[in-house]
Amino acid sequence: MTELDLTVVAEGLLFPEGPIAMDDGSVILVEIARGTLTRVDADGSVDVIAEVGGGPNGAAVAPDGSIVVCNNGAAFDYLDLAGFRIPVQPPTNWTSGSIQRVDIDSGSVEDLYRECDGRMLRSPNDIVFDAHGGFYFTDHGLRMERASDTTGVFYAHIDGSSIREVIFPLDAPNGVGLSPAGDRIYVAETHTGRIWAWEVAGPGEVASHAGMHAGGTLIYGSAGLVMYDSLAVEADGNICIGTLGLGEGGISVMSPDGGLVERHLIDDPLVTNICFGGPDRRTAFVTASGTGRLLSAPWPRSGLELAFNA
């Protein structure tokens, strides 16, 4: 266990997630409980880019400079407990999930997808673009009183022309990322505390292995009551994952072959995501969602340069 030299960039955010470090020093993120795409400037000032409604969860820069948002459709209610905002299910206001495109200059919002092959998107969660301009996203699904969705990973195009499911079945898939060469996709399952990998044969083409869980290779499985949220990849290929749990919240770092490199504890049980920015992408920006903070810290290695990020 190691501690980061953390700085509070902004606080008072309503369950922040999906951070994107921009070249101008700002961080664009979502506020799930507020229903907004929000910009946090380097001085900590907070401005709403767009009211997207529902529950915006993951976000990424598209080839045209817009932001694509995974919207879970208000898949969570929230409780204030011991100073933390805690998401709970089943939800009371959920309608359906969607993939949205936001013009960051005008704030206009359009729906790209609400279904795939006639099946409604349940709770889109995290997103990553490949070098070809398509994007992978996870559908976290819903947990009701006595039932739970079985969901997967999708691949889609920003023009709304194509969406297909490429990995199925998974149990609450959350974080998704690509290796530096783009030839491997990583997916975190929240409730099982597992990290899976698949080989990428081409744009939206994922090789599976018969007899394995959803055809993937198990990279890492957590011990104890540790769950995993969204993730980012380092330039050297390590996988950095938002880690959930009472006394366990922070960032876990795994090597591509499955070894635990390090863990950084943070004083929030709901550390949901991480991204990299600054010179050589050696600054980590972390969403401490339970306490409503965006944090930054020097990072020991460079983060991966994401396709189309600016």
Question: Mind listing the pLDDT tens digit for each residue in 147-202?
Answer: 999 999 999 999 999 999 999 999 999 999 999 999 999 999 999 999 999 999 99
The enclosing domain of 146 has a CATH number of 2.120.10.30
The tokens for 197 are: 């990998």
In terms of Cα–Cα distance, which of 151, 138, 310 is closest to 231? 138
pLDDT in tens, 230-273: 999 999 999 999 999 999 999 999 999 999 999 999 999 999 99
Q: What is the pLDDT of residue 227?
A: 97
Give tens-digit pLDDT for 284-304: 999 999 999 999 999 999 999
pLDDT of residue 1 exceeding 80, the answer is no
**Residue 107 belongs to some domain of the structure:** yes
User: Is 303 a domain residue?
Assistant: no
Domain-located, residue 308: no
3-state secondary structure the chain: CECCCCEEEECCCCCEEEEEECCCCCEEEEECCCCEEEEECCCCCEEEEEECCCCEEEEEECCCCCEEEEECCCCCEEEEECCEEEEECCCCCCCCCEEEEECCCCCCEEEEECEECCEECCCEEEEEECCCCCEEEEECCCECCCCECCEEEEEECCCCCCEEEEEEEECCEEEEEECCCCCEEEEEECCCCEEEEEEEEECCEEECCCCCHHHCEEEEECCCCCEEEEEEEECCCCEEEEEECCCCCEEEEECCCCCEEEEEECCCCEEEEEEEECHHHCEEEEEEHHHCEEEEEECCCCECCCCCCC
Is the Cβ–Cβ distance between 89 and 148 less than 8 Å? Answer: no
Q: Is residue 142 part of a domain?
A: yes
Residues 22, 275: Cα–Cα separation, whole Å: 10
Tell whether 306 is covered by a domain: no
304 belongs to a structural domain: no
State how far the Cα of 272 lies from the Cα of 52, in Å rounded to an integer. Answer: 20
- Mean pLDDT, residues 18-34: 97
pLDDT of residue 72: 98
pLDDT for 310 equals 62
Question: How many domains are there within the chain?
Answer: 1
In a domain, 305, yes or no: no
Return d(Cα 162, Cα 263) in angstroms, integer: 38
pTM over cut 0.85: yes
**Hey, what's the torsion of the CAs at 293, 294, 299, 305, to 10 degrees?**
150
Summary mean pLDDT of the chain: 96
Q: Is residue 2 part of a domain?
A: no
Q: What is the pLDDT of residues 137-155, one digit of tens each?
A: 999 999 999 999 999 999 9
Domain interval for residue 100: 7-298
